[in-house]
Amino acid sequence: MRDKKRIVIALGGNALQADPNDTTAKAQLKTAKETAKPIADLIEEGNEVIIVHGNGPQVGQIVAAYETAAATDKKNEMMPFPECGAMSQGYIGYHLQQSIREEMVKRGIKKEVATVVTQVVVDEKDPGFQNPTKPVGSFYSKEEAEKMEKEKGFVMKEDSGRGYRRMVASPEPLDVVEANLIKSLVDQNHVVIAGGGGGIPVVDKGNGVLEGVPAVVDKDFISAKMAELMDVDLLIILTAVEKVAIHFGKPNQKELTRLTKEEVYQYIEEGHFAPGSMLPKMKTALRFVESAPGRETLITSLEKAKEGIEGKTGTTIVST
């Protein structure tokens, strides 16, 4: 193992938008500047850092803006979903790289930071395409939804009593197209932001042709794939809590410090982790620790990342 660790950091939504009711660019940049500080702590310790982040609200805003423009003026076409994902990667990456660079300059850290607009290979026969589950974009009435299904071929489903939304698939990530480029940048001691929003899903059509598809790769799953491809020592999944807990929110809540993969499987089977929050993170931890001997996943809060690496807090998942 290296003297200092090579780390993939998976940023949760609270690292980009502290106030879910304020989704403006100004608010995101302000939050990014705070997020940059604990990341800079890890860089300052000499760790090699690759950052992956989500993009749910941001790509939703972009899709909705194009939907509104198309509805207002028929001359405006709706932007294809892969292109919306690319826009969100650039937008969020710009805020993160600016904020991290600013923090590194303050501390005299002589490194560069850059965003790589990342494509992720998926299988066009992935079962996820048969049952799209990820809602994106604006809300519509039943009549409008039926019209969009007929005219555009979209899959529209009712979303929590708020109206109908377009659904896209969530396929498994198979490979990262720019993996060699990202690894080269990290090898040269640069900080890299990549795989934003799960990356842009593409299918390999052969002869070097890649085709973007309307889908969302789970941000946590691409974090595990990125960590595997970058041969990192540690995957850090940053979330809203300092430690993973069982019996969460109940009088007998118990925080967990160190777990083997067997214990994680047991807790998953017992239903301790919520499907929309901690469950995908635990599954991501398992994917990474099972990908090669000696790999570990740390789950903790953004503010406690440095202490987590030092073994002072957080929940660490190991293979045995």
Catalytic residue among 54, 55, 128, 134: 134
306 is catalytic: no
Domain count, the chain: 2
Nearest to 303 by CA among 313, 295, 293, 311: 313
Contacts of 109 (CB under 8 A, 6+ apart): 40, 43, 44
Nearest to 192 by CA among 125, 96, 262, 268: 96
Identify whether residues 150 and 205 lie together within a single domain: no
106 is catalytic: no
The label of the residue with tokens 């780390």 reads 7
- Is residue 1 very low, low, confident or very high in pLDDT (cuts 50, 70, 90)? very low
What pLDDT was estimated at residue 2? 40
The answer to the question of residue 127 being in a domain is no
pLDDT at 20 over 90: no
205 is catalytic: no
Identify whether residues 159 and 176 lie together within a single domain: no
Q: Across the beta sheet with 155-158, what order do the strands follow? A: 134-140, 164-168, 155-158
pLDDT at 136 over 60: yes
DSSP state of 80: P
Identify whether residues 236 and 284 lie together within a single domain: yes
**pLDDT over 90 percentage in the chain:** 80
The answer to the question of residue 214 being in a domain is yes
Identify whether residues 32 and 81 lie together within a single domain: yes
pLDDT tens digits for range 246-292: 998 899 999 999 999 999 999 999 999 988 789 999 999 999 999 99
Identify whether residues 238 and 147 lie together within a single domain: no
211 has which bridge partners?
Answer: 203
Six-digit token string for 8: 């993939």
pLDDT tens digits for range 105-122: 999 999 999 999 999 999
Catalytic residue among 5, 281, 304, 306: 281
Domain hosting 146: range is: 133-168
Identify whether residues 25 and 157 lie together within a single domain: no
CB atoms within 10 A of CB 144: 15
Identify whether residues 65 and 157 lie together within a single domain: no
**pLDDT over 70 percentage in the chain:** 99
Identify whether residues 149 and 269 lie together within a single domain: no
The answer to the question of residue 157 being in a domain is yes
Identify whether residues 241 and 305 lie together within a single domain: yes
The answer to the question of residue 128 being in a domain is no
Backbone angles phi, psi at 273, to 5 degrees: -115, 130
- Rounded to the nearest angstrom, the gap between the alpha carbon of residue 66 and the centroid of all alpha carbons in its chain is 23
| Residue where a domain stops, chosen among 168, 195, 223 | 168
14 is catalytic: yes
Nearest to 119 by CA among 80, 168, 177: 177
Identify whether residues 179 and 87 lie together within a single domain: yes
Instruction: Return the CATH number at 223.
Output: 3.40.1160.10
Identify whether residues 162 and 178 lie together within a single domain: no
Identify whether residues 13 and 155 lie together within a single domain: no
111 is catalytic: no
Element (H, E) at 72: helix 56-72
pLDDT tens digits for range 151-197: 889 999 998 888 999 999 999 999 999 999 999 999 999 999 999 99
pLDDT at 135 over 70: yes
Catalytic residue among 5, 219, 225, 304: 219
- Is residue 18 very low, low, confident or very high in pLDDT (cuts 50, 70, 90)? confident
As a whole number of angstroms, the distance between CA 247 and CA 79 comes to 44
The answer to the question of residue 114 being in a domain is yes
